[in-house]
Amino acid sequence: MADQPNVQATYEEAMNTGHAAAWDQNWEKAIGAYMMAVRARPDDPAAHNSLGLALLQARRLPDALKIYERARTLDPDDPVPLEKSADVLERLGRLQDAAQQYMSVAEIYLAQHDLEKAISNWERATRVTPGLIKVHQKLALAYERTGDRKQAVREYLTLAGNFQRIGKGDTAIQAVERALRLEPKNPQALNALQALRSGAELTREATDERLKAKNVDAGDAFEADPFDISLEATQSDPRGPIGEAIESALEQLATDIFSNEMLMMQPSGMNVIQAIEFHRQGAVDEAIGAYQRAESAGVNFPALFMNIGALMVERQRWKEAISYLERVQDAPQLMAGANHGLGIAYMEQQKTRQATTFLIKTMQLVDMKLAISPDEAGQLGAVYDQLLARIRAADEKTLSAMNQRFFNLLTGRDWKQRVELTRHQLEDAITDDPERLLDVASVSPEIIQAMNRIDSYMNTRRYILALDEAFNVVSKEPDYLAAHLKIGQILVQMNRVHQAIEKYNLIAETYIARGNKARAGEILNEVIKIAPMDIRLRQTFIEFLETDEKWPEILEQYISLADAYFELGDYNNARTTYNQAIQMAQRIGADKSKVIKILHRLADLDMTRLEVRGAFRNYENIKNLDPADEKARKMLVELNFRLSDPAAAIRELDALLQHYAKERNGRAMLELLEGWVVKRPNEEGIRSRLAAVYQQIKRNKEALEQLNALLELQLNNGRHTDACQTLKRILPLQPPQQQHYLNLMQQLGCG
């Protein structure tokens, strides 16, 4: 409207004024400017965020909170207003609400794959409201995943204290053991473990890594003297899960027998006691005999079957081992060991698929047992469930390699750590490359550790070290595509885009050769995002998609290819490709919106090359497909004027005005006509229509201005009859100097 500034101009001016005031820390002025921007565009989240910040800086906290809440509703996926409102709540002393907000913000950042910011908000949540166990769990896992062992240990020890305070001593011990897997010699963790096992109460200082800053010895945090705990106590049984199950079974059997005096005095009980003694002495055959005599006498404890089966494995009596280990049921402490033994027995019998199944289940049981919450256990279980689902279609060679890999990693002092590292690698594969999950599962532990080092180097932006490590992995495992993908990612981060594209192309070709077209397509799509203007790459991708007849995707790629030609100034190829896209859209019956999209691109191309008639034809086609397309209608008005056909231009203008009238969009009508009056001040038809609109909305002053200008044009052009009609429209408006207009009518001989 003539007496109101353009909305967009008002908004931009207000935002610029607000930014300048904010830069000068003149917060009251900034608030006023940003409020003007909000009034101009009430649904704009950026204006609300800026206003919220100004109010926050001016310490108008309740007002800032309201504005940030409004910004949050306008853009629910933006974490900034939620994060800022949490800050405001914290300043207002509403700590529980602030903690909840910080946790919500962290989940948004996590969904956006911004782990660093998620961690930051989890930390804020624990700062304002201590004791949030679930948050500490997430922090511990996040730090562990990013390679920050020191922080991860701190969180696990904090969890241990929290678990102990709510009466979950066993879970507290698990949390400390998890910390010790990360740092086996950590003094706080070692002391905490000893304290928990002895029933001593942990203090916050005892489990807090930050204690060091206060120059306090962690051992002094306990009432007892510092304990000298050897590393041996924190290590795993080198025989793996089967070894731990044997020790647990021996303990269970002894407890069951010695707690039952009647059983202990019977021959069956005496045989069990004798078997335990033989077993601990390493007299395998004698132990088997005693165990079996106890079984014959009626002893049917799962622990008994566990030990007989384990000894059968040791004696390589595979079928008998399987028979006993399959009977170990309803004994959670023994199941991992029983599955381990079954995996070994089936592996030695060349029953590859069964062996793989039991070895994976062994890892699953071990990993889930180490979890410190039911949620984490469920997540870990899901990883192995996916792996189990994949092995059904795996070939014998792959399964044999996996069996050897799992057999090796399930033994040694650090086998639990290696299981965890392997699971992290499997999780990455599920996220990045599910189709290659089996390949990931079959690589060696050394490769897993190398891949973890690559991630660590990348997280700290040490790209040269990451690249060297990746090349080292590829030299050892040339077919391991996950390492090749890492090289591509590193090259992108180093801005060596051309080399990255070559690497990604090679990976895509390898996937195609292996029959995994879906993954190849994903790789090519990622490469195109890196180099959107690479013509050859898009052509390759189109050819790839054509083999699978993925026509909707091909159509989008044709449009993108034409756009790339356009941006590069290759207008002939752009036009040809756009036309091919239109033909394809028509052939596959694509939605008309796709055709309209392409026609707009062609019209833009014609306008760029000043081919007015070509653009006119394209906009006519758009109008025929979608009469409500405002851009096409506006351009048809413009092009008719350029083609010296004002009558046709006015017809198009009237049609667009009718469209706005049907939608009751008076603002659009007014803005359209006001814009055209500026561009075509001597066009009588435009001024006449603008005056009519002003009259309709009772803005007589502006209507009179337009009619006077119209009258002047008509008199200058000798159009006296039209001038008389205009004078008749002026008089009802009761203009100043009305006699002047009456005299003019008389001079013109108006009837």
Q: Give the pLDDT of residue 19.
A: 79
Which one is the CATH code of 7-219: 3.40.50.20, 1.25.40.10, 1.20.1440.230, 3.30.470.20?
1.25.40.10
Q: Nearest 5 degrees, angle CA 165-CA 168-CA 173?
A: 100
Residue with tokens 């050819």: 543
**CA-closest candidate to residue 117, choices 88, 146, 96:** 146
Look up residue 684 and give its two tokens: 């009588």
What confidence score (pLDDT) does residue 621 get?
83
pLDDT of res. 445: 60
Number of H helices, E strands in the chain: 40, 0
Q: Hunting for tokens 């979890």 — which residue is that? A: 371
Separation of alpha carbons 178 and 377, rounded Å: 14
The dotted CATH code for 240-349 is 1.25.40
Residue where the block lists tokens 């028509």? 586
Fold that domain 444-531 belongs to in CATH: 1.25.40
Question: What value, to the nearest 5°, has the Cα angle with vertex 141 and ends 481 and 78?
Answer: 85
Q: Which residues of 90-207 form beta strands (DSSP E)?
A: none
Residue labelled with tokens 């397509």: 521
pLDDT along the chain (751 residues), means of 10: 61 81 80 86 85 84 85 82 81 80 78 73 75 75 74 82 79 81 81 80 54 34 30 62 91 76 71 86 91 90 93 94 90 92 94 92 86 71 84 76 85 80 72 64 71 82 85 77 78 74 72 63 62 55 55 68 70 76 72 80 81 83 82 84 85 84 81 85 85 84 86 87 87 84 84 67
Query: Helix (H, G, I), strand (E, B), or coil: what is residue 566?
Result: helix
Tokens read off for 675 = 């814009």
At residue 196, what is the residue type?
L
Distance in angstroms (rounded) separating the CA atoms of residues 409 and 416: 9
Tokens 């009980």 sit on residue:
269
The enclosing H or E element of 362 equals helix 352-370
Q: What SS3 state is found at 186?
A: coil
- pLDDT for the residue 188: 82
Residue 275 · residue 294 · CB < 8 Å: yes
Phi and psi torsions of 398, nearest 5°: -65, -45
pLDDT digits over 8-66, tens only?
A: 778 878 888 877 777 777 888 888 888 888 888 888 888 888 888 888 888 888 888 88
| Per-residue model confidence (pLDDT) at position 460 | 83
Q: Please answer whether residues 10 and 40 qualify as being in contact, where contact means their C-beta atoms are separated by less than 8 angstroms.
A: yes
State how far the Cα of 738 lies from the Cα of 744, in Å rounded to an integer. 10
Residue 653's pLDDT is 84
523: which residues sit within 8 A by CB, 6+ positions away?
A: 485, 504, 507, 508, 511
pLDDT at 1: 40
**Three-state secondary structure string covering 206-233:** CCCHHHHHHCCCHHHHCCCCCCCCCHHH
3-state secondary structure of 643: coil
Give the span between the Cα atoms of 580 and 574, in whole angstroms: 10
The answer to whether 426 touches 379, Cβ cutoff 8 Å, is: no
The token pair that represents 186 in the structure block: 């950590």
- Record the pTM: 0.43
CA distances in angstroms from 589 to 584, 595, 622, listed in the order given: 8, 10, 17
- For 173, 657, 712, the CA distances from 719, given in Å and listed in that order, are 100, 26, 10
Residues 6+ apart with CB under 8 A from 723: 711, 714, 715, 748
pLDDT value at residue 232:
35
**7-219 and 240-349 have identical folds:** yes
Residues 588-613: pLDDT tens digits?
A: 677 778 878 878 888 888 788 787 88
Backbone φ, ψ for residue 322 (5° rounding) = -65, -40
Q: Where do the H-state alpha helices sit in 626-730?
A: 630-642, 646-662, 666-679, 684-696, 700-716, 720-730
Residue for token digits 């009259």?
695
The predicted structure's pLDDT at residue 218: 31
> Rounded to an integer, what distance in angstroms lies between the CA atom of residue 581 and that of residue 275?
80
CA dist 193 and 189 (Å) reads: 6
Q: How many alpha carbons lie under 13 Å from residue 614 in its C-beta half-sphere? A: 14
Measure the CA–CA gap between 631 and 625, rounded to whole angstroms: 13
Domain boundaries, the chain: 7-219, 240-349, 352-390+397-442, 444-531, 680-751
Question: 3-state DSSP helix/strand/coil percent for the chain, to nearest 5?
Answer: 80, 0, 20
